[in-house]
């Protein structure tokens, strides 16, 4: 049974009681929350995720609740807790969905050191995978959402997980984070895809999330070999240009976007070097999503 098969009220009861177990790739999270807005967001964004009732080992025990005291009523807030640790300052209550997503990203990037973790989107089609590492504002999430809406498999919008044993990419499919103008852009580009409610006033501007296609959820345990590393850059009015990038420069930029390079030390350097060696490294400047779709579809068919 999937989350879409229970009512929002039933989901709220589960969240405020025994908790909801969510699995995304190798990670199992038990979420507790009394916030109705978060229940509504989970019900829409995680609609196609299975409801897990059996006893699984839980990686992350997470709570998103209002702080105690006057803040429950006066300018109410949402606080993220991980095993009773409070890594973030509470945020306004309307940001309950973003703080859950950001908090889960924080859990993975800080504790899943069995993987090399690079800040990037990852998609796959026909067995061809593309890693899109990029700093915020480069357009990676918009590009990722567009490709996923047109049939590419989503492995992740936020992080490439590279298995340190076999160098394969491990899926961790969760909602794609869209910001500001990208929200309406994707709503228009992919009208059949579910985009959750917009949350204004965050530190990143207005935030909304694109739900993961059911096909990507069903394949969330299928690893894939890395094929391409593409550094995207959105430039208004630019013609699409896909060009080779030197492997040493690609390695440096991967290190700059790596969450746990400092933790893995020398092995981290070796893993980055091997990842660059097995991939074709490219830079991509673009302005139109249809141009990007055409170019990357062609790559996946070679």
Cβ contacts of 90-93, under 8 Å, gap ≥ 24: 91/202, 92/201, 93/35, 93/37, 93/66
Among 76, 94, 111, residue at a domain's last position: 111
160 and 49 housed in the same domain: no
72 and 143 housed in the same domain: no
Q: Please report which confidence band the pLDDT of residue 70 belongs to, taking 50, 70 and 90 as the band edges.
A: low
128 and 171 housed in the same domain: yes
103 and 243 housed in the same domain: no
Among 60, 90, 111, residue at a domain's last position: 111
- Residues 100 and 80: their CA atoms lie apart, in Å, by 7
257 and 154 housed in the same domain: yes
Q: Looking at residue 236, what is its pLDDT?
A: 85
Percent of the chain with pLDDT over 70: 98
118 and 198 housed in the same domain: yes
60 and 164 housed in the same domain: no
Q: Looking at residue 84, what is its pLDDT?
A: 83
Indicate the number of domains in the chain: 2
* Whole-structure pTM value: 0.94
∠ CA 145-151-156, rounded to 5°: 45
Element housing 28 (H / E): strand 27-33
85 and 151 housed in the same domain: no
Please compute the mean of the pLDDT values over residues 194-218 and round it to a whole number. 96
Please compute the mean of the pLDDT values over residues 156-178 and round it to a whole number. 97
Asked if the model's pLDDT at residue 225 lies above 90, the reply is: yes
Q: Looking at residue 71, what is its pLDDT?
A: 60
Could you read off the pLDDT of 119-153 as tens digits, one per residue?
999 999 999 999 999 877 788 999 999 999 999 99
Q: Which two tokens stand for residue 254?
A: 């991967």
- Residues 27 and 110: their CA atoms lie apart, in Å, by 13
Find the domain containing 27 and state its range. Answer: 1-111
Per the CB < 8 A criterion, the answer to whether 217 and 184 are in contact is no
41 and 141 housed in the same domain: no
Could you read off the pLDDT of 6-29 as tens digits, one per residue?
999 999 999 999 999 999 999 999
- Residues 248 and 66: their CA atoms lie apart, in Å, by 47
Q: Please report which confidence band the pLDDT of residue 54 belongs to, taking 50, 70 and 90 as the band edges.
A: confident
168 and 287 housed in the same domain: yes
118 and 104 housed in the same domain: no
Asked if the model's pLDDT at residue 114 lies above 80, the reply is: yes
Among 64, 95, 111, residue at a domain's last position: 111
Asked if the model's pLDDT at residue 46 lies above 70, the reply is: yes
Could you read off the pLDDT of 233-281 as tens digits, one per residue?
988 888 999 999 999 999 999 999 999 999 999 999 999 999 999 999 9
93 and 140 housed in the same domain: no
Asked if the model's pLDDT at residue 72 lies above 70, the reply is: no
What CATH number did the domain enclosing 274 receive? 3.40.50
């Amino acid at each position: 049974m999937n989350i879409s098969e229970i009512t929002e009220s039933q989901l709220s009861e589960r969240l405020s009681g025994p908790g909801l177990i969510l699995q995304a790739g190798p990670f199992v999270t038990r979420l507790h929350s009394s916030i109705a807005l978060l229940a509504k967001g989970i019900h829409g964004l995680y609609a196609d995720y299975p409801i897990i009732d059996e006893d699984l080992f839980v990686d992350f025990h997470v709570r998103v609740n209002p702080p105690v005291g006057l803040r429950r009523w006066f300018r109410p807030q949402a606080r993220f807790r991980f095993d009773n640790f409070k890594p973030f300052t509470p945020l306004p209550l309307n940001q309950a969905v973003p703080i859950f997503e950001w908090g889960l990203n924080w859990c993975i990037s800080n504790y899943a050191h069995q993987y090399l973790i690079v800040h990037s989107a990852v998609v796959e089609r026909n067995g061809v995978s593309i890693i899109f590492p990029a700093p915020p504002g480069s357009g990676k999430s918009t590009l990722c959402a567009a490709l996923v809406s047109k049939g590419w498999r989503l492995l992740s919008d936020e992080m490439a997980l590279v298995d340190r044993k076999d160098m394969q990419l491990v899926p961790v499919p969760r909602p794609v984070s869209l910001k500001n103008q990208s929200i309406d852009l994707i709503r228009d580009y992919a009208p059949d895809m579910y985009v959750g409610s917009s949350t204004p006033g965050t530190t990143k501007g207005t935030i909304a999330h694109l739900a993961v296609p059911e096909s990507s959820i069903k394949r969330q345990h299928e690893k894939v070999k890395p094929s391409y590393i593409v550094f995207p850059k959105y430039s208004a009015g630019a013609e699409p240009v896909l060009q080779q990038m030197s492997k040493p420069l690609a390695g440096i930029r991967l290190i700059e976007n790596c969450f746990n390079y400092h933790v893995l030390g020398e092995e981290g350097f070796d893993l980055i070097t091997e990842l660059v060696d097995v991939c074709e490294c490219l830079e991509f400047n673009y302005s139109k999503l249809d141009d990007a779709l055409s170019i990357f579809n062609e790559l996946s068919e070679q």
